[in-house]
Amino acid sequence: MLAGVLVVVTLADVIYQLVDNSGQAIDRFGLGFLVHTVWNPGFNKEGAAALVYGTVVSSLIALVLATPLGIAIGLYLSMMAPARVRAIVGPLVEMLAAVPSIVYGFWGLVVLVPFINGLEPGLHSALGFIPLFGPASTIGISVFTAGIVLTVMILPIISALSRDLFLTVPADLKDGAEALGATRWEVIRGIVLPSTASGVGAAVMLGLGRALGEAIAVSFVIGDVTQIHASLFDPGSSIAAQIANDFLGAVNPLETASLFYIGFILVVIAMLTSIAARGIAGRFDVSAGMLAKP
């Protein structure tokens, strides 16, 4: 009981410490902090808009890429793979989550950045009519690269959770559909995905939470530029990466307070994500119960 209370107290204290230490920035910038893009500590001007933008966009890239891939891997591991392949590939995919973020940062910088740099001109010429795919950055360090690194980091979360969910679908339902002549894909589309949709949604939210809060790996590849560019191939910065890059070198107490302030914003976003995941998963429990009854 006490241990449970301690968790709640810790969370409350997290909020308190963040608000307390960001007091100076809150007093000075108020809510306008959220809409100002300039981050120039030398002139006591700090705004979080560019950072929020970088955080959200890089995480959305990761989400768009990792959701279908993760669901596909979950389907493969739960319904298609032979038992032996499953026993090897499943743990290997989960190992992706065990690699520390600093190693992903390194890998992103040394392996991924040159690769992306080669990829960007092609994407620009193919999809350049959309402003998102602007002219390639010269060095491959960009919001897009950060999104790719985050994709790799959240892929194991989404695929492991969705695999576990797909395994909970009652075999009776799948067998029934197959007996009616449905192909494997029709079983997946008609039975497996609809009955686990909300659980998969929760898994995706958990992946999103991880992507939003990742600091070290992102700080290596995003470029540390607090500006908003339409093109994904331009460098940017994210909340967590900004804290990692600037906290120790903060030029004045106001910048430190501002960093605590963006930390507070990040916590609010992360908490909303966790609560949303739990809310969606709660709906899943109900639908699973309904599924099991008849």
Partner 1 sequence: MSAATPITLGETGLFDPTAPLTPSGNLRRRGVINRFVHVTATAAAFAAVAVLAIVVVSVAVHGASSLSLGFVVHNPQGLAAGGIANMLLGTLEIVAAATVIALPLGILTGLYLTEFAGPRARTARFHKLALDIMQGLPTIVVGLFVYGLIVIPTHQESGFAGAVALSIVMLPLIARASQEVLLLVPGTLREAADALGVNRWRTVLTVILPAAIGGIVTGAILAIARAAGETAPLLICDNIYNQTSTSFNLFHGVPSVPMFIYTSYDLPLTQAVARAWGAALVLVIFILFANFGARVLLARSRAKMGR
Quote the radius of gyration of the chain (alpha carbons, Å). 22
Q: How far is Cα of residue 160 from the mean position of the Cα atoms in its chain?
A: 15
Instruction: Say whether residue 100 binds partner 1 (CB under 8 A).
Output: yes
Minimum CB separation from partner 1 for residue 231, in Å?
25
Chain-centre distance for alpha carbon 93: 17
# residues near partner 1 by CB under 8 A? 75
Query: Which range, of 31-39, 164-172, 271-279, 286-294, touches partner 1 by CB under 8 A?
Result: 271-279
What is the closest distance, in whole angstroms, from the C-beta atom of residue 81 to partner 1 in the complex?
Answer: 7
Q: How far is the CB of 142 from partner 1 (least distance, A)?
A: 19
For 243, how many CA atoms within 13 A lie in the half-sphere containing its CB?
Answer: 21
Question: Which 5-24 residues touch partner 1, going by CB under 8 A?
Answer: 6-8, 10-11, 13-14, 17-18, 20-21
Q: Which is closer to partner 1, CB of 99 or CB of 291?
A: 99
Which one among 26, 37, 56, 107 touches partner 1, defined by CB under 8 A?
107
Among 46, 120, 214, 246, binds partner 1 (CB under 8 A): 214
CA distance to 37, 59, 139, 151, 221, per residue, from 234 (Å): 16, 16, 10, 18, 11
* Position among 56, 60, 99, 250 found at the interface with partner 1 (CB under 8 A): 99
Q: At what angle do helices 193-213 and 143-168 cross, to 10 degrees?
A: 140
**246-265: which residues touch partner 1 (CB under 8 A)?**
247-248, 259-260, 263
Please give the span between the terminal C-alpha atoms of the chain, in angstroms, as a whole number: 38
139 near partner 1, judged by CB under 8 A: no
Largest CA distance in the chain: 71
Closest CA to 198 of 269, 79, 291, 272: 291
Token digits for 41?
Answer: 């500590």
- The region of 42-50, 126-134, 223-231, 269-277 touching partner 1 under the rule CB under 8 A is 269-277
Smallest gap from residue 230 Cβ to partner 1 (A) = 27
Question: In whole angstroms, how close is the CB of 134 to partner 1 at the nearest point?
Answer: 26
* 101, 142, 162, 237: residue in contact with partner 1 (rule CB under 8 A): 101
180-199 positions binding partner 1, by CB under 8 A: 183-186, 188
Query: Which residue number, 21 or 37, has a Cβ lying nearer to partner 1?
Result: 21
CA torsion, ordered 186, 192, 198, 201, to nearest 10 deg: -70
Decide if 182 contacts 190 (C-beta within 8 A): yes
